[in-house]
Structure 1
Amino acid sequence: MATPDPLFNETLLLLGGAVVAAPIFKRLGLGTVLGYLAAGIVIGPIMRLINDAEEVLRVSELGVVFLLFIIGLELKLSRLWQMRGDIFVLGTAQVVLSGLALTGLAYVSGIAGWQGAIIAGFGLSLSSTAFALQILDDTGDTNSEYGRRSFSILLFQDLAIVPLLALITVLGGGANADSASMLRDAGIAVLAVAVMIFIGRFLLTPIFSVIARTGAREVMLAAALLLVLGAAAAMQAVGLSMAMGAFLAGIMLAESSYRHELEADIEPFRGLLLALFFMAVGLSLDLKAILDNLLIIVIGVPLFMIVKAALIYVLCRLWGSNKEDAASIAFLLPQGGEFGFVLFTTAMAAGLLSPSAASLLIAGVTLSMALTPIGAALSRRFLVREEKREEIPEDFEGAGADVLMVGFSRFGQIAAQILLAGGTDVTIIDDNPDRIRQAASFGFRIYFGDGTRRDVLVAAGIERAKIVAVCTQKREVTDRIVDMVREEFPQASLFVRSYDRIHTIALRAKQVDYELRETLESGLLFGMKTLEALGLSETEAAIIGDDIRKRDEKRLQIQAAEGFTAGRDMLHNRPVKPEPLIKPKRPVPQEEEAVSS
């Protein structure tokens, strides 16, 4: 029997570790990142099943490259320009001030001389793009205000790697000898970025158009991989990071019609390789170095994370973030980053850091990465974030009608069309400024206001309204409005959009005048039209739909009296012959059929 290939065995181990650890840690509320880290630590430093962590890390870094490409696809140049203040002002302040503070700590601790301390301090000021963005993705906060600000800081940190690598050359004694070559390298980097922008703007979309016309999906996939890896390799060749090259390629295609296709092609590679990256970080954790320098690491790692987090919090507050957002960013970005590995290794080769100091710093960065998901989870548990909503002045001049509609959701928009077409004036209030502006562009008169406030309802004319139509989207908001109107304005009839079946029963218990589940009538209509497409007549489909509507109403009455699980026998769970539901035995005249429908 042939001996299994070691590479095959290692792949099985990594896949098995990911499959076991990620769901467990996700279930515990700790996130998949910490699960991948734990799996890597168990497979590598503890059980020693995989020893070549560096090779795994080198391959898995492509996950970060693919991640930045996908982020670039979701960012248009106009939006990137809007973020310029966060990127270049807040990002610069974070790197410079954190770098200086951590340089002082590194020098005082005696890790290296002043030149090495500068590299150590600024290397630790860089955070992990992969860890931070994966945590944001896991929690669904990527597009939140603090998520966008965090990304801006991370983007500047990726840009800062270039001058920091140049700084190693200067501090290593090559300032005079290599000044010309440094200027030449900087010029080549700028030229490479300009060439990439030109290719992205004018060539990529036509190329993908030609490939798409071939109809060969595997060629499209190959082209997507070639684009990402080619851009990454080109930027690395001129001294920039691979991730930055992929990010630029993504931005250039952000407005392309092939954006969604490319994202779908790359996403599986991104997810798998990024999981492998986190496991590789766990594999590379040097437990012996940590144990040998336990006191320094136990004191030093939390200290540098606290100093960095405090500076990030203060800078974000000064830049306009609220307390919750500033704290969330501080908890998300206190760790060292993957670019720190590059800086410390390069500094060791230049003689600025001793091998033991470089190993100690790398171990500290790795440990800080492992602690970050825990800190982020604690911040989500203990921070109460209130969404910052834009407000516009409440002006109810001209308000007051027979119908007061609270909430201008899609449901309310359709209902308002019926009322207006029937000659009934409607006063509409909503607390979403964007929705109000959008509705105003179509000629609707909507007032800004919070429908859960009594004074707002009075100003909107509830005391003159015959009917209050509550069309809000959230059950808890709807219930608050219904309770207040029932208590404060009993003269008004309440017509309410219910959230679901349970909500319908609860609203009936509050004795509203009329309630309707949005999904009921639309689902009935959809089902009837499907039956018609399968060959039933419009009359037959309408009879069946009416029977289902009556059954639903009877079941609601039974559930209200006997509990939610009652009335199951009234549900159809297998095909029913239509004959018992269809009364007419004779052909239906055309006139009668038209009336029935």
Structure 2
Amino acid sequence: MATVSSSLLQVVLLLAATVIAVPLFKRLGLGSVLGYLIAGIAIGPYGLQLFSNISTIFHISELGVVMFLFIIGLEMKPSYLWALRKQIFVVGGLQVLTGGTLLTFVGIGFGANWQVAFVCAAGFVLTSTAMVTSIIRERNELNTPSGQKIISILLFQDLMIVPLLFVISQLSPTKIKSTVPLWESIGIGIACIAILIVSGLWLLNPLFKKLARYQARDIMTAAALLVVLGSGMLLEFAGLSMAMGAFLAGVLLSESSFRHQLEADIEPFRGLLLGLFFVSIGMSLNLNLVQKYWYLLLTGVLALMFTNMLVVYSIARLTKSSHKEAFNRAFIMNQGGEFAFVLYTSALSFGIINDQENGLMTAAIVISMAFTPIFLRLKTWIFDKKAPKQTQETPTIDEQHEIILVGVGRFGQIIRQMLWTSGYQRTTIIDIDQDLINSLAHFGVKTYFGDATRPELLRIAGIEKARLLIVAINNPQHTNAIVAFAKSVNPNLKIVARSYDRIHTYHLYNLGVEKIVRETFDSAVLSGQHALELLGTELETAQEISQLYSKLNRQGMKATAALYDSSIKMFNNKALNAEAKAQEQKMFEAIQELIASKKLLKEENED
């Protein structure tokens, strides 16, 4: 009987645990992250003991965070990132400094000396980049103003890892002297960032253009992984984080024509490895330590989390965020982060903390991550249900392309796909269906939430400079409002609009729309062609009849549109009805002439 490899068995068990836990916790409204954490706890060395050595899994899974930051970078132009500089340095700086100070006092209040309390605070103040970005991505808030502010703060926190590691090294009771001077470490960091920027601006785009000529998808995927891992490794060498390197690489490629392709290539690896990352975090929770010191951990974690929430809320309000935005941010950014493990390991090696303190601090970080989705769910139950429902805030549309597509449902999806496959990938897409937007995000289709009948949204989307507007929604009144405003601010704008029926078509012609597509017209014409074929008409003749009918019908619609008067019922409009009858007679004569000519040609060929 064949034996099963133990490593293969572990992979199967790992996948089984996630497949069971993640859908369950999502069904409960607690999000996928908590599902991954619980799966890790269950199968880890302190649970069912199906895995013993988790360090290898953790190091591999860290690549999920790296790839996630690369994808976020792809969605941020350098100009937009520059516009966020105040958020990055002012809000991020205030949050880290204030939070670090108050959290240190919390640690002292629990009986730790100030050095140990500082180390604990340093790890807790660096919010989990992986968890927070996963949460706001699941809530489809990455491209909203509040989501962008959170990303800005996370970027500053990632930058703080280097100075915090330096401070921890200086707290060492043994005063271990670094072999590399501080100025040299800073110089190496700046040099590596400069190399990455130069490579991104002048080398990466030519590289992908050259590879695209070979039309080998696997090579493009390999190149995408090379860019992500190479940039991460470069900044890790500089003493910064791999995630920061990948993010910068993504930003530098955000305006590349290969951006969507890169995102599609990286996405499968990102999702799998990021899930594995949270599983490995769950595995690291020492349940024996939790059981022994449960009261200390519970009270300590709650004290740290509520202090963090107070700081986040206060800084947000101080920097002029609304109460709702500040409150929401406090519930999302209340946990410790994955960089805490790096800081605690460093502090342990320098003799600042002992093994037990390291274990307790690590457990506190993991527990805070597990509590965050629960707190968010409680917030929804207690606060959000009481508050009146409001529409989602208008997103910041950071990409003003020459093509704007409004509506990406069953009609608009086909248009988007045709444009994308024809090379027109830089299209600003707007829709009001949040569930649809979430679904499209899984396929890498970036869609902005918003009501396009609002003039300010169209202005943000760049309607005044756009070349083409496509309105593919199925609401005639909204279509008319969008078209009317678009034409008023950009008279030279070309418009393709979806028409609901004949009357709506008349309205659109009178608004100056160049191309009008009646939503059932082409499918009805094709059905008529098939009917002719089944009745014995030759395929070529049926196709020509179909084409001629379409051409004459469109011409007739323009003629009758000029006679349409909304104050008169259509069937009471004598002039319009007379023109419609004349157009139908003209169409009959033209098609009969076509059929007669085809018959004559066939008879001549037979003779």
TM over 0.5: yes
Residues 255-334 of structure 1: pairs in structure 2 closer than 5 A: 255-334=255-334
The 8 Å contact of residues 409 and 471 in structure 1, kept in 2 or not, is answered as no
In the alignment, what sits opposite 1:79?
80
Q: Does 1:525 align with 2:522?
A: yes
Q: Does 1:40 align with 2:40?
A: yes
Instruction: Call closer, same or farther: CA 1:257–1:165 in 2, change over 3 Å.
Output: same
In the alignment, what sits opposite 2:478?
472
**Which of 444, 448, 455 is the aligned partner of 1:432?**
455
Instruction: Call closer, same or farther: CA 1:182–1:532 in 2, change over 3 Å.
Output: farther
The 8 Å contact of residues 144 and 394 in structure 2, kept in 1 or not, is answered as no
Residues 211-226 of structure 1: pairs in structure 2 closer than 5 A: 211-226=211-226
Give CA-to-partner distance per residue, 1:92-131, whole Å, 9 cap, x none.
00111000001111122123x2222222112111111111
Residues 118-517 of structure 1: pairs in structure 2 closer than 5 A: 118-172=118-172, 177-178=177-178, 181-381=181-381, 382-383=383-384, 387-388=392-393, 431-435=454-458, 471-472=477-478
In structure 1, distance between residues paired with 2:275 and 2:363: 20
| SS at structure 2 position matched to 1:588 | helix
Question: Offset of 1:51 from its aligned partner?
Answer: 2.0
In structure 1, distance between residues paired with 2:406 and 2:211: 42
Question: Offset of 1:216 from its aligned partner?
Answer: 2.0
In the alignment, what sits opposite 2:593?
589
The 8 Å contact of residues 21 and 39 in structure 1, kept in 2 or not, is answered as yes
In the alignment, what sits opposite 2:560?
none
The 8 Å contact of residues 100 and 122 in structure 2, kept in 1 or not, is answered as yes
Question: Offset of 1:5 from its aligned partner?
Answer: 2.5
Question: Offset of 1:310 from its aligned partner?
Answer: 1.0
Instruction: Call closer, same or farther: CA 1:29–1:388 in 2, change over 3 Å.
Output: closer
Instruction: Call closer, same or farther: CA 1:197–1:541 in 2, change over 3 Å.
Output: closer
| SS at structure 2 position matched to 1:589 | helix
| SS at structure 2 position matched to 1:351 | coil
Which deviates further from its counterpart, 136-145 or 361-370? 136-145
In structure 2, distance between residues paired with 1:103 and 1:409: 51
In structure 2, distance between residues paired with 1:355 and 1:28: 36
In structure 1, distance between residues paired with 2:61 and 2:255: 28
In structure 2, distance between residues paired with 1:242 and 1:409: 38
Question: Offset of 1:218 from its aligned partner?
Answer: 1.4
Instruction: Call closer, same or farther: CA 1:320–1:500 in 2, change over 3 Å.
Output: farther
In the alignment, what sits opposite 1:509?
none
Instruction: Call closer, same or farther: CA 1:441–1:199 in 2, change over 3 Å.
Output: closer
Question: Offset of 1:212 from its aligned partner?
Answer: 1.7
In structure 2, distance between residues paired with 1:88 and 1:312: 15
In the alignment, what sits opposite 1:109?
110
The 8 Å contact of residues 25 and 31 in structure 1, kept in 2 or not, is answered as yes
Q: Does 1:64 align with 2:65?
A: yes
Residues 569-584 of structure 1: pairs in structure 2 closer than 5 A: none
In structure 2, distance between residues paired with 1:500 and 1:32: 40
The 8 Å contact of residues 174 and 351 in structure 2, kept in 1 or not, is answered as no
User: How many percent identity over aligned positions?
Assistant: 38
Question: Offset of 1:439 from its aligned partner?
Answer: 5.9
Question: Offset of 1:435 from its aligned partner?
Answer: 2.5
Give CA-to-partner distance per residue, 1:544-586, whole Å, 9 cap, x none.
9xxxxxxxxxxxxxxxxxxxxxxxxxxxxxxxxxxxxxxx9x9
Question: Offset of 1:231 from its aligned partner?
Answer: 1.3
The 8 Å contact of residues 43 and 283 in structure 2, kept in 1 or not, is answered as yes
Question: Offset of 1:265 from its aligned partner?
Answer: 0.8
The 8 Å contact of residues 285 and 363 in structure 2, kept in 1 or not, is answered as yes
| SS at structure 1 position matched to 2:320 | coil
Instruction: Call closer, same or farther: CA 1:287–1:257 in 2, change over 3 Å.
Output: same
In the alignment, what sits opposite 1:480?
none
In the alignment, what sits opposite 1:458?
none
Instruction: Call closer, same or farther: CA 1:208–1:115 in 2, change over 3 Å.
Output: same
Instruction: Call closer, same or farther: CA 1:164–1:63 in 2, change over 3 Å.
Output: same
Question: Offset of 1:13 from its aligned partner?
Answer: 1.1
In structure 2, distance between residues paired with 1:498 and 1:215: 35
Which deviates further from its counterpart, 27-36 or 233-242? 27-36
In structure 2, distance between residues paired with 1:234 and 1:122: 25
In structure 2, distance between residues paired with 1:140 and 1:23: 19
Question: Offset of 1:6 from its aligned partner?
Answer: 2.2
Give CA-to-partner distance per residue, 1:322-344, whole Å, 9 cap, x none.
11111111100100000001101
Question: Offset of 1:88 from its aligned partner?
Answer: 0.4
In the alignment, what sits opposite 2:50?
49
Question: Offset of 1:543 from its aligned partner?
Answer: 8.9
The 8 Å contact of residues 529 and 541 in structure 1, kept in 2 or not, is answered as no
Query: What is the letter of the counterpart of residue 53 of structure 2?
Result: D
| SS at structure 2 position matched to 1:255 | coil
In structure 2, distance between residues paired with 1:73 and 1:59: 22
TM-score by length of structure 1 reads 0.70
In structure 2, distance between residues paired with 1:114 and 1:104: 8
Query: What is the letter of the counterpart of residue 78 of structure 1?
Result: S
In structure 2, distance between residues paired with 1:245 and 1:527: 54
The 8 Å contact of residues 92 and 152 in structure 2, kept in 1 or not, is answered as yes
Question: Offset of 1:33 from its aligned partner?
Answer: 1.3
| SS at structure 2 position matched to 1:61 | helix
In structure 2, distance between residues paired with 1:21 and 1:352: 37
Query: What is the letter of the counterpart of residue 589 of structure 1?
Result: E
In the alignment, what sits opposite 2:444?
none
In structure 2, distance between residues paired with 1:254 and 1:133: 18
Which deviates further from its counterpart, 526-535 or 16-25? 526-535
Instruction: Call closer, same or farther: CA 1:431–1:74 in 2, change over 3 Å.
Output: closer
| SS at structure 2 position matched to 1:172 | coil
Instruction: Call closer, same or farther: CA 1:60–1:471 in 2, change over 3 Å.
Output: same
In structure 2, distance between residues paired with 1:78 and 1:10: 46
Which deviates further from its counterpart, 39-48 or 331-340? 39-48
Instruction: Call closer, same or farther: CA 1:319–1:9 in 2, change over 3 Å.
Output: same
The 8 Å contact of residues 340 and 365 in structure 2, kept in 1 or not, is answered as yes
The 8 Å contact of residues 145 and 325 in structure 1, kept in 2 or not, is answered as no
In structure 2, distance between residues paired with 1:368 and 1:217: 41
In structure 2, distance between residues paired with 1:436 and 1:157: 34
Question: Offset of 1:589 from its aligned partner?
Answer: 2.5
The 8 Å contact of residues 127 and 333 in structure 1, kept in 2 or not, is answered as yes
Instruction: Call closer, same or farther: CA 1:327–1:498 in 2, change over 3 Å.
Output: farther
Question: Offset of 1:165 from its aligned partner?
Answer: 0.5
In the alignment, what sits opposite 1:449?
none
Instruction: Call closer, same or farther: CA 1:149–1:538 in 2, change over 3 Å.
Output: same
Query: What is the letter of the counterpart of residue 227 of structure 2?
Result: L
Q: How many residues align?
A: 461
Query: What is the letter of the counterpart of residue 15 of structure 1?
Result: L
Query: What is the letter of the counterpart of residue 93 of structure 1?
Result: L
In structure 2, distance between residues paired with 1:47 and 1:236: 34
The 8 Å contact of residues 66 and 266 in structure 1, kept in 2 or not, is answered as yes
Question: Offset of 1:65 from its aligned partner?
Answer: 0.6
Question: Offset of 1:191 from its aligned partner?
Answer: 0.8
The 8 Å contact of residues 64 and 274 in structure 2, kept in 1 or not, is answered as yes
The 8 Å contact of residues 549 and 591 in structure 2, kept in 1 or not, is answered as no
Unaligned runs of 5+ in 1: 391-407, 412-428, 444-468, 475-496, 502-518, 545-583
Give CA-to-partner distance per residue, 1:133-170, whole Å, 9 cap, x none.
11111121111222111111111111100100111111
Question: Offset of 1:172 from its aligned partner?
Answer: 1.6
Question: Offset of 1:524 from its aligned partner?
Answer: 2.6
